[in-house]
Chains A and B, each alone.
Chain A
């Protein structure tokens, strides 16, 4: 029963969609790699048959669009055939990125919630601070990330923290925006109820506003975790591409190693999906604890 539902509700749909994507991907790989292959063949003076040509488009060392099996092979090689803590292992790089993402995400969520709480309770903050938070978010992080890292390393902060800080910077905003809305979403009637108890702000916050904001909270966290991941990867670039998914992307792009890029991307997205799923599960758990009606 459980297994059957899992197959029916998860495996089957995901499998189907994946299949469609893989097929489309192969078609795209052929279409995008073909012109270059034609040029190469022309320069080399060979005229391959169409099946030979097809195979060639799928096995270029630096294809415009790597074929799925090339990426899978690369992933396989870089995860399962090397020790997970070796520098060649994607697991190692994914772990580096994951740790920066998680710490950034934790700090960003905390900061976002704090800011939202401040904005909801302090009119001066709402008026003077919010516009500047918004403005701060429009600053392209990649432009100032190097400066931040340089500045921080000048005062002796290196390693995980600078990356985590950039993650924080990107992830607090979705949380703040969502939580401002969420904390303001309780029913007027429920707020009145708390007023009749002359509950203080902390009590109203803790017993009413925060529970009422839960749907907003988890939704924002999902967006924030994706943003943290971006932040962590951006933060890895100015450190000279030493370790992490970001460094793999960067190194791959210096040498046009598209297969490496794709493999790193996929590793990154696996990390992402893992994190988003975790948040989702946490959301479901909390929802169930809060007595939400089962669908």
Chain B
């Protein structure tokens, strides 16, 4: 069977499991012919799947639920990432040491569906995001760490497995940085999950294919976690950049995945949905936005 997977981002170790599964023939063993489409900052996987360009996508829960409300019947069928990798980092010699110092400062945030955890957090802290002395000024951050190096922002968003290491490469030592990790603060929203269309899932044949797909993918993840260097090499072969960086990323990603069983933890889902509701990113409690049917059959 043919399956098209749309990634959320460019080819990098963040998606190593899928590349490994393909490269190592796990998909083929399961009788699947999988095409992996890399993403990028201008690609909304939700749009791709709505337009019929993909069968299954890697997406964050925030984006998926927002799209669901707009009529794209996305359903979470598996959640390989147990923890969120996003954090906010500030230079230790800067003005911000704790949450209490945010007032009146500029914070770099990613948008394009990645801004929800930040706004949920600020909401919790009771800080306005409209700037001014009592709030924070939000800078729409490009997908790199320049705003911090250029001192355009006092803190910026990074992923543990990616931009954080760019800062380290740029000469910051871990002790030079103050880190606010969304998972540790309990503010995390579910990241890279696998989503498919509701109406297609009603077709048992498709559901069956998805079971095979998720199973083979998790086998890929398992292999990648066990052989990080080889996995990084496979990513490089598929268009990744900077091999050392990919190796490090593989290591960090392994921490977020933990046990590769792909099962969604309902509490994490509830927390995500509530945060989105609180910020009015979605207006009503989502129904049927996830299913354990696929993972149960594995």
Binding site for B on A (CB under 8 A): 35-36, 39-40, 43-44, 61-62, 64, 87, 142, 145-147, 150-151, 153-154, 237-242, 250-251, 253-257
Contact = CB atoms under 8 A, between A and B. Distances in A.
Contact of A253 (B7, B38, B47, B144): B144
Contacts of A154: 51-53
B241 A251 contact: yes
Contacts of B43: 146, 150, 238, 240
Given A146-B43, A255-B245, A256-B146, A241 B10 contact: yes
B42 A145 contact: yes
A137 B245 CA distance: 41
Given A254-B10, A255-B166, A255-B245, A150 B48 contact: yes
Contact of A150 (B47, B142, B144): B47
Interface string B147-182: 001110000000000000010011111001000000
Interface of B: 7, 10-11, 37-44, 47-48, 51-53, 142-146, 149-151, 166, 169-173, 176, 239, 241-242, 245
Given A43-B176, A238-B42, A240-B40, 5 more contacts: A43-B173, A44-B171, A150-B48, A150-B51, A255-B166
Contacts of A150: 43, 47-48, 51, 53
A153 B239 contact: no
A254 B44 contact: no
A237 B44 CA distance: 12
A146 B42 contact: yes
Contact of B42 (A43, A153, A237, A251): A237
Contacts of B150: 64
Contacts of A251: 10, 241
Contact of A240 (B39, B51, B166, B171): B39
B10 A146 contact: no
10 contacts: A142-B42, A150-B47, A153-B48, A238-B42, A238-B43, A240-B43, A251-B10, A254-B144, A256-B146, A256-B149
B40 A256 contact: no
B172 A43 contact: yes
B60 to A, nearest CB: 17
Across the A-B interface, the 9 shortest Cβ-Cβ residue pairs? A240-B38, A40-B171, A154-B51, A256-B144, A154-B52, A146-B42, A238-B42, A150-B51, A154-B53
A147 B47 contact: yes
A153 B53 contact: yes
Contacts of A250: 10, 40-41
Contacts of A239: 40
A237 B10 CA distance: 10
A254 B9 CA distance: 10
Contacts of A64: 146, 149-150
B69 to A, nearest CB: 19
A295 to B, nearest CB: 47
B94 to A, nearest CB: 11
Nearest to A145: B42
Contacts of B239: 87, 240-242
A263 to B, nearest CB: 14
